[in-house]
Amino acid sequence: MNKFNKNKSHFNKYGYCIINSFFSRKEINNLDKKVKKFIEKKSNKLKGKNINFTKNKSVNTMHDVNKFESFFKKFALRKKNLDLASFFLDSKPEFRKCEIFAKPAKTGLPAPLHQDNFLWAIKNNNGITFWIALDKSNKNNGGLYYIKSSHKLGLLKHENSFMPGTSQKISKKLVKKIRLSDVITPNLKPGDMLIHHCLTVHGSNANKSLKPRRGFTIQYKDKKSVYNKKLLKSYKINLIKQLKARNQI
């Protein structure tokens, strides 16, 4: 893992890092085909919290996709991925889930500023996300953006967002206090991968461009870490309220 030392130093300082061309063209093309096929087959079958659509009924996000397609879990559990996750977690990793962020051209929805661990509720905050680019991703098509070094702020207060796909957002009062001048939107090409800490504040703007911004994510946590059951229960209750408000359940 010595070749990723610089990436990890950047991750430790800023809460995220980019690993360019982590996946070969063959690997990313295979993943791309599986994602496209999954969207085609499951867009009319998944319901509730597992899928969200844009206003023109295009798929925007799909959640827990590893539960419906074995390939995705097998992909996440590859030695190559687990070794890297272990290196960044400084612990044996435990796979959590996979998600698809389709973010289609013209109608792709924004994601409000949030921290993943407010949704995950891991007590020791030791979790990471692999965000794998299937398309070019940048400011023009709603690329993911981070608040640099925000993982050092601890778990922040969130509130209901009523946004499909990201049900929680950092409260308005806290957003005003965060140094938004420290925003970075990485430029990615297919096969590049972002790794971010589960406390790193991040979000994305709407995709108003003519090109999609698809990403595939894998979540890992420290295998020794446990969940905050009270926080997790509260999150799930609020999610159900929002799903009912949007007539998704």
Per-domain boundaries in the chain:
2-245
pLDDT on residue 3:
92
Amino acid letter, 13: K
pLDDT on residue 1:
67
* CATH superfamily for domain 2-245: q2cbj1_9rhob like domain (2.60.120.620)
Q: Which tokens go with 159?
A: 């509130």
pLDDT on residue 249:
83
Q: Which tokens go with 18?
A: 């980019």
- Any alpha helices (H) in 55-130, and if so which ranges? 70-76, 79-89, 116-120
Place of tokens 């827990």: 64
Q: Which tokens go with 21?
A: 């061309």
Separation CA 124–CA 76 (nearest Å):
22
Quote the percentage of the chain above a pLDDT of 70. 100
96 phi-psi bin (left φ>0, alpha ψ -120 to 50, beta other): alpha
Q: Mind giving me the DSSP string for 138-206?
A: SGGGT-EEEETTGGGG-SPPEEEEEETTEEEEE-HHHHHHS-GGGEE---B-TT-EEEEETT--EEE--
- Point out the residues of the chain with pLDDT beneath 70: 1
pLDDT on residue 176:
81
What is the DSSP-derived secondary structure letter of residue 109? P
pLDDT on residue 24:
94
Instruction: Determine the distance from the C-alpha atom of residue 96 to the mean position of all C-alpha atoms in its chain, rounded to a whole number.
Output: 12
Contact 52, 60 (CB under 8 A): yes
**Torsion over CA: 116, 119, 124, 128 (sign):** negative
Amino acid letter, 108: G
